[in-house]
Structure 1
């Protein structure tokens, strides 16, 4: 009997989750697995190796129509897996709410073994139902995966010991297989309408309070004439007017380039290749896909000194600043902006680390013992 595994991912393209799914399934396919991705995309990495079917809409709204699509898509995905005799499904878990509870219950109804990847081990909205969380982790997930020691330690504090016993730490992989880091900076900037002679810092990803864009705007230096900021991403339960008011009050309008929208893969490639460094001013994080994306491009990083960030940037691969400390962030931005040699060193070390410690080929082998 051939080895088979599937991922059911209703977030997919909307949140950039498909990068993770495609890279993991591609690596498992290279280990001899027949792999399936049921999501909201129709094509992706190595389609000859991964069976990709669209079972969900791009954007599942939180209303009756969205709920109907979610349930229908999940049932259809499970039927496809059962038809192809796939017994194990991998699921991305970002919150312990009624949505994953319903989806996971359908998985169990179809008799699937569930490997749950807990990306955010608790919701940053602080509104999780403890009973729902415990039920999801204890009854609906057979094996729990977290990405670092910080997330594991957090779960140890809030979940029963029997759930911790079935929890393993497996790293989040890098993104070198799905990015184009060969676009020259000059070409990328021309495509985006950026100035060739300016030093650009990049803020990339969903815009929400925990991501700390307000901290970055308050810390961004105004006394370095050729230092500008690119902000790229779409607000999530947040109003961009809050940030626009800071931009205006600090007279940063002429120093900021805004891409406030969903960012396509082509635009992402151009943004990362156009920037000189990236800033991650997060207030809270359990694991940052943006950080690993930046390292995959070889883009120098400034990040808040949160435990999850420090676990990755633990050998001088970037600059850390004291979390929520505007003055310290200002200092680190100036340091990175003024030292091209330092940026080149961080870029080189980041790529080395991604290739040596965050390779999907290695990560996939850790999943094999769980899938079997």
Structure 2
């Protein structure tokens, strides 16, 4: 029997309670959502209430270090040739859900939770979902910025999946309301869960030493734009804001770029020269090794989250910044700004244009000079992976109760 012991409140009796059998589906081998799944799985595996297995591919980035049960049965997507990767991706839209749902039957799973949604093939694999299993997912992005087949077809399939799901998890109330307004989804079926803080190695040097390594002056405010260089990060507007006469900050742009459909890093190098700020914008291109992340954040005074206002996802960079206790500058993106203002962990701009970002940079520089205190500890307490896992399990248990009741 798959059960665990629970003591009664008076400590006099021990009951055996059946565990929830949960399959956590991770389609992609890595990336931001992969890291999120790994951290969530680590937290979930510490709770005796569930019996968890992460269903992934053999090239899952965290396979070797996983402290939870894994089943690497999904098709591998990695390949050195881009055309082959594309073909693997498309064929796996149906192949991966088929393998997952076959395992659901074998394992008599109570819940199947999707970290990635293969929505373009959902009209087909929806027919294979066994009865009696609750289907849930984390909607990191309620809508998709880019389509795979066509905008109308992709939206139709994604909405169809949302409506079929028994519960959805998001990271902010604004995302919950987006589901209600865009899909007509029942708000009572949406669970807002915190995005936990990512752990990274501490810096092995102080700020001045890290600055010297980067060849950046120690007597100027320094901002950091960290992670993949994408158009929705609004880096060009941020750079133009640096030209404001009252803004003194230098900026480090650290991360890989050149993704299909996005401006290359070279575009921003040329822009820095055109704006006459090439001596204040420092580029560290390519993948940043985890051991170097601490030095970058130690060198910096603040972190840029000046996304375009159309950005509706949660920011993984925000949670790296919180780990290193660095305040952030944000634009009015619904999810990120709502979080920042609720916990006073940064400065908000009035808009996403250069003219609107500049005053926020000036205010942040004042905070740095004055040694302003931010509520990092309060944020960390509320946004723990344990809180995320606990809220997730409670929702799954509710679904199990409903399923059990309806079967009798």
TM-score grouping bracket, smaller chain normalisation: 0.7 to 0.9
Q: 1:155 is matched with which residue: 179, 188, 191?
A: 179
The aligned runs of 1:163-312 (5 Å cut-off) are 163-165=185-187, 167-176=189-198, 178-181=199-202, 183-186=204-207, 189=210, 193-195=214-216, 197=218, 199-221=221-243, 227-233=249-255, 234-236=257-259, 237-240=261-264, 241-283=266-308, 284-286=310-312, 287-312=314-339
CA drift of 1:243 comes to 2.5
TM-score by length of 1: 0.82
Deviations 1:312-338 (A, max 9, x none): 122432111111232232232233235
TM-score by length of 2: 0.76
Deviations 1:27-50 (A, max 9, x none): 211111332223442536973334
CA drift of 1:194 comes to 4.3
Task: Quote the Cα distance in structure 1 between the aligned partners of 2:245 and 2:139.
Answer: 42
Match of 1:7 in 2: 24
Name the SS for the 1:322 alignment partner: coil
The aligned runs of 1:56-135 (5 Å cut-off) are 56-58=76-78, 63-69=86-92, 71-79=94-102, 83-93=106-116, 99-102=118-121, 106=125, 109=128, 111=130, 113-125=134-146, 127-129=151-153, 130-135=155-160
Structure 1 residues 182 and 267, CA gap change in structure 2 (3 angstroms):
closer
Q: Is the 8 A contact 1:42 1:52 kept in 2?
A: no
**Does 1:145 find its partner at 2:165?**
no
Task: Quote the Cα distance in structure 2 between the aligned partners of 1:168 and 1:101.
Answer: 22
CA drift of 1:249 comes to 0.4
Q: Is the 8 A contact 1:173 1:359 kept in 2?
A: yes
Task: Quote the Cα distance in structure 2 between the aligned partners of 1:80 and 1:265.
Answer: 34
Q: Is the 8 A contact 1:191 1:270 kept in 2?
A: no
Deviations 1:345-369 (A, max 9, x none): 12xx12x123221112122121113
Deviations 1:188-214 (A, max 9, x none): 827964436254211123333322111
Deviations 1:74-121 (A, max 9, x none): 444555565555442222357xxxx43326854762535321111111
Task: Quote the Cα distance in structure 2 between the aligned partners of 1:64 and 1:45.
Answer: 27
Q: Is the 8 A contact 2:332 2:349 kept in 1?
A: yes
Task: Quote the Cα distance in structure 2 between the aligned partners of 1:68 and 1:148.
Answer: 33
Task: Quote the Cα distance in structure 2 between the aligned partners of 1:50 and 1:188.
Answer: 42
Structure 1 residues 208 and 265, CA gap change in structure 2 (3 angstroms):
same
Match of 1:21 in 2: 37
Q: Is the 8 A contact 2:253 2:284 kept in 1?
A: yes
Query: Which structure 2 residue ranges, 5 or more long, are not aligned?
Result: 3-18, 398-408
RMSD of the alignment, in Å?
3.3
Match of 2:380 in 1: 355
Name the SS for the 2:283 alignment partner: strand
Q: 2:60 is matched with which residue: 29, 36, 41?
A: 41
Structure 1 residues 34 and 209, CA gap change in structure 2 (3 angstroms):
same
Q: Is the 8 A contact 2:303 2:329 kept in 1?
A: yes
The aligned runs of 1:307-322 (5 Å cut-off) are 307-313=334-340, 314-322=342-350
Match of 1:337 in 2: 365
Give the number of aligned pairs: 360
Query: Which structure 1 residue ranges, 5 or more long, are not aligned?
Result: none
Structure 1 residues 185 and 328, CA gap change in structure 2 (3 angstroms):
farther
Deviations 1:247-279 (A, max 9, x none): 120122222222333444334343333322101
Task: Quote the Cα distance in structure 1 between the aligned partners of 2:258 and 2:73.
Answer: 25
Which region of structure 1 is more displaced relative to structure 2, 70-79 or 274-283? 70-79
Task: Quote the Cα distance in structure 1 between the aligned partners of 2:360 and 2:351.
Answer: 12
